[in-house]
Amino acid sequence: MGQGLAGALLGGFLLAVGPSPALAGKANDTLVYASDSEPENLSPYHNSLREGVILSRNVWDTLLYRDPKTGQQQPMLATAWTWVDPLTLDLTIRDGVTFHNGDPLTPEDVAFTFNYVLTPEAKIVTKSNVDWMKSTEVTGPHSVRIHLKAPFPAALDYLAGPTPILPAAYFKKVGLDGFSKAPVGTGPYRIVSTASGKGVKMARNDAYWPGSPIGKAKIGKLEFRVIPDGDSRMAELMTGGVDWIWRVPTDQADQLKRDPTLTVLSAETMRVGFLQFDVQGRAQENSPLKDVRVRQAIAYAIDRKAMVDNLVRGGSRVMNALCFIEQFGCTDEGVPVYSYDPAKARALLKEAGYANGIDLDLAAYRERDYAEAVIGYLRAVGIRVRLNYLRFAAFRDAVRGGKVSIAYQTWGSYSIDDVSAFTPVFFGGGDDDVTRDPTVIAELKAGDTSIDPALRKAKYAEALKRIAAQAYALPMFSYPSNYAFTADLSFTAQADEIPRFYAASWK
> For the segment 283-305, what is each residue's pLDDT rounded down to a tens digit?
999 999 999 999 999 999 999 99
Q: Provide the terminal-to-terminal Cα distance of the chain, rounded to the nearest Å.
A: 21
pLDDT digits (tens, 9 = 90+) for 316-374: 999 999 999 999 999 999 999 999 999 999 999 999 999 999 999 999 999 999 999 99
Cβ neighbours of residue 353 closer than 8 Å, sequence gap 6 or more: none
Cβ neighbours of residue 223 closer than 8 Å, sequence gap 6 or more: 23, 24, 30, 31, 32, 33, 199, 200, 201, 202
Q: Label residue 19 by pLDDT band (50, 70, 90).
A: very low
Q: Is the predicted pLDDT of residue 8 greater than 60, yes or no?
A: no
Provide the β-strand partners of residue 384.
359
Looking at residue 494, its pLDDT comes to 87
Q: Label residue 271 by pLDDT band (50, 70, 90).
A: very high
- Are 199 and 30 within 8 A, CB to CB? no
Q: Which amino acid is at 134?
A: K
- Are 371 and 389 within 8 A, CB to CB? yes
- Are 142 and 92 within 8 A, CB to CB? yes
Q: Label residue 242 by pLDDT band (50, 70, 90).
A: very high
Provide the β-strand partners of residue 277.
406
- By CB atoms closer than 10 A (0-12, 13-18, 19+), residue 15 is exposed
> Within 10 Å of residue 264's Cβ, how many Cβ atoms?
17
Q: What is the chain's mean pLDDT, rounded?
A: 94
Which of 222, 266, 226 is CA-nearest to residue 506?
Answer: 222
Which of 48, 83, 105, 58 is CA-nearest to residue 156?
Answer: 83
Which of 441, 436, 409, 431 is CA-nearest to residue 123?
Answer: 431
- Say how far apart CA 184 and CA 98 lie, in whole Å: 10
- Are 194 and 200 within 8 A, CB to CB? yes
Q: Which amino acid is at 140?
A: G
For range 151-169, the mean pLDDT: 97
- Say how far apart CA 165 and CA 187 lie, in whole Å: 10
- By CB atoms closer than 10 A (0-12, 13-18, 19+), residue 153 is buried
- Say how far apart CA 505 and CA 507 lie, in whole Å: 6
Q: Label residue 202 by pLDDT band (50, 70, 90).
A: very high
- Are 388 and 404 within 8 A, CB to CB? yes
- Say how far apart CA 314 and CA 347 lie, in whole Å: 34
Looking at residue 388, its pLDDT comes to 98
- Say how far apart CA 372 and CA 116 lie, in whole Å: 41
pLDDT digits (tens, 9 = 90+) for 453-468: 999 999 999 999 999 9
Cβ neighbours of residue 268 closer than 8 Å, sequence gap 6 or more: 314, 315, 316, 317, 478, 479, 480, 481, 495
For range 218-245, the mean pLDDT: 96
Q: Label residue 23 by pLDDT band (50, 70, 90).
A: low
Q: Is the predicted pLDDT of residue 6 greater than 70, yes or no?
A: no
Q: Is the predicted pLDDT of residue 18 greater than 70, yes or no?
A: no
Looking at residue 250, its pLDDT comes to 87
Q: Label residue 3 by pLDDT band (50, 70, 90).
A: very low
Q: Label residue 71 by pLDDT band (50, 70, 90).
A: confident
Sign of the CA dihedral 165, 129, 246, 12?
Answer: negative
pTM of the model: 0.89
Q: Is the predicted pLDDT of residue 109 greater than 90, yes or no?
A: yes
Q: Is the predicted pLDDT of residue 398 greater than 70, yes or no?
A: yes
Looking at residue 94, its pLDDT comes to 98
User: What is the enclosing helix (H) or strand (E) of 270?
Assistant: strand 262-277
For range 107-131, the mean pLDDT: 97
Looking at residue 10, its pLDDT comes to 37
pLDDT digits (tens, 9 = 90+) for 258-268: 999 999 998 89
What values do phi and psi take at 290, rounded to 5?
Answer: -70, -15
Q: Is the predicted pLDDT of residue 503 greater than 90, yes or no?
A: yes
pLDDT digits (tens, 9 = 90+) for 75-103: 999 999 999 999 999 999 999 999 999 99
Q: Is the predicted pLDDT of residue 377 greater than 70, yes or no?
A: yes
3-state helix, strand, coil in the chain (%, to 5): 35, 25, 40
